[in-house]
A and B are shown apart, each in its own frame.
Chain A
Amino acid sequence: MKDKLGSQAIFQKISTRFNEKITIPTHPYGLLTFETNNENIKEILKFLKEDNELKFNYLTDITGIHYPEQDLPIGVIYHLHSLVNNVRVRIKVFLNGDNPVIPTATDLWQGANWMERETYDFFGIIFEGHPNLTRILNVDEMTVFPMRREYPLEDPNRVDKKDYFFGR
């Protein structure tokens, strides 16, 4: 199946609508990637989903990432897929570390529910408006967000796996 709509054309369409609100795109391995902020993300997701030409109707994945050295260390990464045009897009939003809050996508896709709960569980990202933002894979009593960088993997028996062996 061939892409009916190239990623150039897609970005053209998005950027005419959200001119200042998104960053210059990159295309790692052909996948259109751009950043935005937590004020505009909801509007962009809604536009991408409901636009008649783009039709990014399929939410592939939501996940988080942590770069402790950045000003805005906590990232949320969305992968959307337009099944009609057979093209994917990746959107990143970076949030401040003390109070990472981002609007939920559950009203656009029901499937975002558990993806957001998982992201909350591991990174402590608050999805505002989520119907049930509780831990999902970790135990309820847990107080930390284990995928953040400040929590190293506890593995006392294997010194060969320490971070400094990985150049970190």
Chain B
Amino acid sequence: MNNYPVYTDNDPQKETITLNLGPTHPATHGVFQNVLEMDGERIISGVSTIGYIHRAFEKIAEHRPFYQITPLTDRMNYCSSPINNMGWHMTVEKLLNIETPKRVDYLRVIIMELARISDHLICNGILGVDTGAFTGFLWLMEEREHIYEIYEEVCGARLTTNIGRIGGFERDFNEIAFAKIKKFLIKFPPILKEFEKLFNRNRIFIERTSGVGAVDPETALNYSWSGPILRATGVDYDVRANEPYSSYEDFDFDIPVGNSGDVYDRYIIRNEEMWQSLRIIEQALQKIEKEPQGVFHADVPEFYLPPKEEVYNNMEALIYHFKIVMGEIDTPKTEVYHAVEGGNGELGFYLVNDGGRSPYRLHFRRPSFINYQMYAPMSAGMLLSDAILNMSSLNVIAGELDA
């Protein structure tokens, strides 16, 4: 694309148009600004401007005790905040060498896979909207509502969940929660099947998406891509399988990979991952049956807040309560990196601890941030309408992009 002469903005000979796509544009699904140089419908070059909702989480985290950092992680990828929460809990547990009971791991797996489904639902639904098919999105949105109802049953919140605690959950799943999960497992597959029927072999959809934004695996790895978009290029890297956390090694599931890395492949990968998530949840429910009932946190009184009524009636509980809240707990002076497979890639937590009650340094390896940097370079030469689809299928979440 070097044959376009460069003119300043006011030059009368300038033949290209400078177009501001975003920061608030209905087609960008979030606060994304791209300053595009356009030749008619075609993009010549683009520059991404990010940071519109930067909230300095890493700085704030240096002044918060571990348990108060969970709500910060909620607000990164808010389409699948439980994964962020649990990734953070597991990081601290790794730091403190806490081993969680199997039942806790399985409960976490259920919630994380539900979160993955809700994340992919949004992404694929919105992709449909961007290609001009609104129905699928509304059809799936109802199912996301049912997932949020399960969250509500478990932790009381819906979007910014703050789910679980360091060491496990704050309370056990009640019967209604299990009933809702089981109901979801029955009700959701037909709807997903219907959604696939609408799109998978739809000629308009295929023509809009196939070949758009195709990426080869070398480039994807060179740009440190991760998650469904990397797997769509054919690289079988999934943190759940490569470095199993939360007992993922106990589960039998497939990792779907694509071959062309275009928007259509990413769409198919996400759909297939939802089926795999359903498989995992089913297995987890069966496994929980065999575990001792009522276990919902690790037995670590130094780090896990005791029940309130015990705090008032039991000396030990009172001491632990005081120590945890005031940050008098002993933590090792070391560093830890823990990664989980988030909704759109490897979500890493790099925690440097100096023994205080808050991290010395906490860095979030945010998949959206790293995946998005290829967006402007890969848009060059694309049609504007294709670039919109491409952005939507990268599933970049503004909160995670800017942290």
Chain A residues near B51 (CB, 8 Å)? 135-139
* Interface mask (A45-62 → B, CB under 8 Å = 1, otherwise 0): 000000000000111110
Stretch at the interface among B143-151, B205-213, B234-242, B306-314: B234-242
**Is the Cβ of A111 less than 8 Å from the Cβ of B356?**
no
Chain A residue at minimum C-beta to C-beta distance from B346: A60
* Interface mask (A19-56 → B, CB under 8 Å = 1, otherwise 0): 00000000011010100000000000000000000000
Asked if B293 is at the interface (CB within 8 A of a chain A CB), the reply is no
**Is the Cβ of A109 less than 8 Å from the Cβ of B58?**
no
* Interface mask (B210-224 → A, CB under 8 Å = 1, otherwise 0): 000000000101111
Asked if B56 is at the interface (CB within 8 A of a chain A CB), the reply is yes
**Is the Cβ of A77 less than 8 Å from the Cβ of B59?**
no
Beta-carbon contacts under 8 Å, B184-206 to A = none
**Is the Cβ of B373 less than 8 Å from the Cβ of A111?**
yes
Chain A residues near B243 (CB, 8 Å)? 86
Give min CB distance, A79 to chain B, whole Å: 6
Chain B residues near A86 (CB, 8 Å)? 242-243
Chain B residues near A113 (CB, 8 Å)? 373
Give min CB distance, A158 to chain B, whole Å: 9
Chain A residues near B346 (CB, 8 Å)? 60
Name the contact of B337 in the complex, choosing from A88, A135, A153 (C-beta under 8 A): A88
Beta-carbon contacts under 8 Å, A118-168 to B = 118, 122, 135-139, 146-147, 153, 155, 161, 163, 165-168
**Is the Cβ of A1 less than 8 Å from the Cβ of B337?**
no
Asked if B129 is at the interface (CB within 8 A of a chain A CB), the reply is no
Asked if A11 is at the interface (CB within 8 A of a chain B CB), the reply is no
Q: How far is the CA of A77 from the CA of B403 in the complex (A)?
A: 19
* Interface mask (B36-68 → A, CB under 8 Å = 1, otherwise 0): 000000000000001100101011101110000
Asked if A18 is at the interface (CB within 8 A of a chain B CB), the reply is no
Interface of A is mostly: mixed
Give min CB distance, A125 to chain B, whole Å: 14
Chain A residues near B60 (CB, 8 Å)? 153
Asked if A95 is at the interface (CB within 8 A of a chain B CB), the reply is no
**Is the Cβ of A31 less than 8 Å from the Cβ of B369?**
no
**Is the Cβ of A161 less than 8 Å from the Cβ of B373?**
no
**Is the Cβ of B365 less than 8 Å from the Cβ of A61?**
yes
**Is the Cβ of B223 less than 8 Å from the Cβ of A29?**
no
**Is the Cβ of B221 less than 8 Å from the Cβ of A58?**
yes
Chain A residue at minimum C-beta to C-beta distance from B49: A136
A137 in contact with B54 given A59-B224, A153-B60, A168-B356 (CB within 8 Å): yes
Q: How far is the CA of A88 from the CA of B339 in the complex (A)?
A: 11
Give min CB distance, B200 to chain A, whole Å: 29
Asked if B350 is at the interface (CB within 8 A of a chain A CB), the reply is yes
Chain A residues near B339 (CB, 8 Å)? 60
Beta-carbon contacts under 8 Å, B387-403 to A = 402-403
* Interface mask (A102-124 → B, CB under 8 Å = 1, otherwise 0): 00000001111111001000100
Measured CB to CB, the residues of A under 8 A from B are 1, 28-29, 31, 33, 57-61, 63, 65-66, 77, 79, 83, 86, 88, 90, 109-115, 118, 122, 135-139, 146-147, 153, 155, 161, 163, 165-168
Give 10 A-B pairs besides A147-B59, A167-B357 with Cβ atoms closer than 8 angstroms: A28-B335, A29-B94, A29-B95, A29-B336, A31-B337, A58-B224, A60-B365, A65-B360, A79-B337, A137-B50
